[in-house]
Amino acid sequence: MQGKIGLEEHFAIEETLNDSKGFLDPSIWEELAGRLMDPEDRRLREMDENGMEMMVLSLNAPAVQAITDTQKAADLARRANDNLAEKVARHPDRFRALAALPLQDPELAAAELNRCIKELGFVGALANGFSEGADPDALLYYDLPQYRAFWAECAKLDVPFYLHPRNPLARDSRIYEGHPWLLGPGWAFGQETAVHALRLMGSGLFDDHPNLRIILGHMGEALPFNIWRVDNKNGWVKAPHPQPAKRTFTEYFEENFYITVSGNYCTQALLCSLQVIGADHIMFSTDWPFENVDHSANWFDAVEISENDRHKIGRQNAIDLFKLDL
């Protein structure tokens, strides 16, 4: 398929490059670093060779979210966003941008989101999971009450928010002790992000802001397979649900969430997702540079789905959600 649009496509700046160093084997670090810091040459070549018209770019992980000094986080986010704006300006027909945000402080995050959308022409935001702040005992998940004003601004701007994974902190990773291969994209990324997404659903956030749209990568971080059980556990017990949200998790997932196929090129997972969330809420992505563009594109171009669904997932849903002028 020609004209594909990818939504989880990463870059790094010098200050964030080493944040990606531990995710893959050290023997290929030079290759990964080159991909992350590529001045667009190889990225564009990969796109051309694999039928991709556009990439929506975002900063690597955890980057801003792992900085405990709020002002330093805000300064880094601004530098990264300015760098990304320059990349987009050089190739406006091939790239769009998602803002990095200093969510350690919701007011600063809202201000930077406004700047990126209104002044730099970005089309949304991406956060690498929870943020760390000055209090080492506090993890800042975005369902917490102090984030409601930020979400109100996001809803007012009517832009999507991509909730990207990060590993749990070392103190919260005892379940993985002795099994480091379970950290990162193999398992811990998905588990951490799915819990964060469920916290957002259960908090009542989408009752207050029904137009909010959250994107999850990697075929929805296993939620298409598990969301039914979240709602229907112990179904014989007729008791009110304990969460503040007024509706079911499934309803929020179907209406307020989109998922991408980034890094999860599994046909069975896609077919499950089509049945659960529907073709209108699934979008193409590659997860470059951590995955290969050709692996994603070759699978997607050949996967046995209808051509109508292929067009929606590969291109049209992104155009509609991000209001792309294509």
Pair 80, 100: CB distance under 8 Å = yes
Helix or strand or coil: residue 304? coil
The counts of H helices and E strands in the chain are 13, 10
Tens-binned pLDDT, residue by residue, of the chain (326 aa): 999 999 999 999 999 999 999 888 899 999 999 999 998 999 999 999 999 999 999 999 999 999 999 999 999 999 999 999 999 999 999 999 999 999 999 999 999 999 999 999 999 999 999 999 999 888 999 999 999 999 999 999 999 999 999 999 999 999 999 999 999 999 999 999 999 999 999 999 999 999 999 999 999 999 999 999 999 998 888 888 889 999 999 999 999 999 999 999 999 999 999 999 999 999 999 999 999 999 999 999 999 999 999 999 999 999 999 999 99
Q: How many CB atoms lie within 10 A of CB 23?
A: 16
**Angle value at C-alpha 23, between 38 and 45, nearest 5 degrees:** 25
d(Cα 6, Cα 3) in Å, to the nearest integer?
10
**C-beta neighbour count of 210 within 10 angstroms:** 12
Single out the catalytic residue among 287, 301, 309, 320: 287
Q: What distance in Å separates the CA atoms of residue 29 and residue 24, rounded to the nearest whole number? A: 7
Location of structure tokens 């991000």: 322
Q: Could you tell me the pTM of the whole model?
A: 0.97
| Crossing angle of the two packed helices 223-232 and 249-256, in degrees rounded to 10 | 150
List the Cα angle 49/28/283 in 5-degree steps. Answer: 45
**CA nearest to 231, candidates 249, 253, 254, 206:** 249
Residue 117 and residue 94: Cα distance in Å, rounded? 18
Helix axes 267-276, 223-232, angle to 10 degrees: 40
The crossing angle, in degrees rounded to 10, of helices 249-256 and 188-202 is 100
**Is 41 annotated as catalytic?**
no
Quote the pLDDT of residue 277. Answer: 98
In the chain, the N- to C-terminal Cα span, in Å, equals 16
H-run or E-run covering 162: strand 161-164
